[in-house]
A and B are shown apart, each in its own frame.
Chain A
Amino acid sequence: MKSNLLDVFMTILKRDLSLGLSRSSEIANPLIFFFIVVMIFPFALGPESNLLQRIMPGVIWIAVLLSATLSLDMMFRSDFEDGSLELMLLSRYPMTLLIMAKITAHWLLTGAPLILASIFLGVLLNLPVESLLYLFITMMLGTPVLSMVGSAVMALTVGLRGGGVLLALLILPLYIPVLIFSIAAIDNAILGLPITGEIYILGALLVLAITLAPFATSTSLRIRFG
């Protein structure tokens, strides 16, 4: 049974990855959006590097939140429309396991590229090394939380008309804790203060999301279908 669970997890993971890669625009568009949002700031605020170095980690994180919100749509919509989600709800495996596989695939397709893009933009904007390092660490802890919280809310709005705007309204407030502690960690690191507290809290948020998000998502989906 144990190896079966792993098998079905890998099957769904591979399926979602190959589906995602075959719809490359759904992956590329949030990334391009992310680049544009970040690059607007130097244009609007001028090229003064002290100011930019001060605010750019925050700007990059905000752009990550917005871009993550855009990318959530691909997680369930096509499976909802073609009936695949019904098959999953009626499968002999726990829905939470299948959802975990879908979230993992979604993070690999959208969260991981966003981390690389953030570092790339950070280098381009001449951010100090500490900022880059802690940007990377906070994103490694934070972006999976975005995918998981996103899946629970997305499951509630999948298939609704005007769901996109509703999703953004519901999801962005929920993303704020991740933003607060990530930015606090980066700011403290630049000032040479300890950051273990913030990193622990981000880690705790991640563990909390891993524990609760699959259940919340599966319950939300059952409500949507009921």
Chain B
Amino acid sequence: MYENTSAVLEAVRLKCVRGERLIFENVGFQLCSGEVLQIDGPNGSGKTSLLRILCGLAVAEEGEVNWKGRSINDDLAEYVREVNYIGHNNGIKSELTPLENLVVARSLMSSNREFSLMEALAQMNLSDIADIPVRKLSSGQCRRVALSRLLISQARLWILDEPFTTLDDNGRHLVQDLIATHARKGGNAVIVTHESLNLPEVILNKLTL
């Protein structure tokens, strides 16, 4: 009779099929404001496929994703403004410097004015290499460049695919702190990772595929 109207992001009975193969079905969850969802599961269980459905890049075979009570497909353009997706691929150009990459990223996304680009890079310990082409950087540094997009984004929903791969301990702490701060401000995050997350004062939901 009464729906849980406080759920911000809601997935209902999602089903994903690749070719003839059923990847998953009947997947659903609800996230309220400030909650984080950790998705885990064996390789090939459809974690990345689920994330792509959640951010509107792919369409589920069945079921739907609701954002603030409305299906995301009603107004996909409006929904993607609230989403910051950092996938397997970093989405940065190896010919450009970290700073140039962030300039392009900021012009594409709804950015906040909290940090300047250099401040964002400094937060990720990248200020020394801000002007070196990305192809000369290590893979961990590239991951940091991609994740620094989180700092300049205004998006309310972060969708992160294995954010910690190739990061060192310091980087893991940094990113967990970012996620925790974001959640305490009322933001949401959906994170695919096998690691145990340490997010103080944040409600952490878990989903195993």
Contact = CB atoms under 8 A, between A and B. Distances in A.
Interface of A: 7-8, 11-12, 15, 18-19, 22-23, 78, 81-84, 86-94, 98, 225-226
A90 B89 contact: no
Contact of A19 (B89, B93, B108): B93
B1 interface: no
Interface of B: 52, 55-59, 77, 80-81, 83, 85, 87-96, 100, 103-105, 107-110
- The main secondary structure of chain A at its interface with chain B is helix
A84 B108 CA distance: 11
Contacts of B100: 15
A60 B96 CA distance: 36
Contact of B104 (A15, A22, A92): A15
10 contacts: A15-B100, A18-B95, A23-B95, A82-B89, A83-B87, A90-B85, A92-B80, A92-B81, A92-B108, A225-B57
B20 to A, nearest CB: 17
B206 to A, nearest CB: 25
A8 B87 contact: no
Contacts of A84: 91-93
A167 B160 CA distance: 34
A88 B77 CA distance: 12
Given A90-B80, A91-B109, A92-B80, A12 B91 contact: no
Contacts of B95: 18-19, 22-23
Given A86-B85, A92-B77, A93-B108, 20 more contacts: A11-B104, A11-B107, A12-B104, A12-B107, A15-B93, A19-B95, A82-B90, A82-B94, A83-B88, A83-B91, A86-B57, A86-B91, A87-B85, A87-B91, A88-B108, A90-B57, A90-B85, A91-B108, A92-B110, A225-B58
B108 A15 contact: no
A2 to B, nearest CB: 15
A86 B89 contact: yes
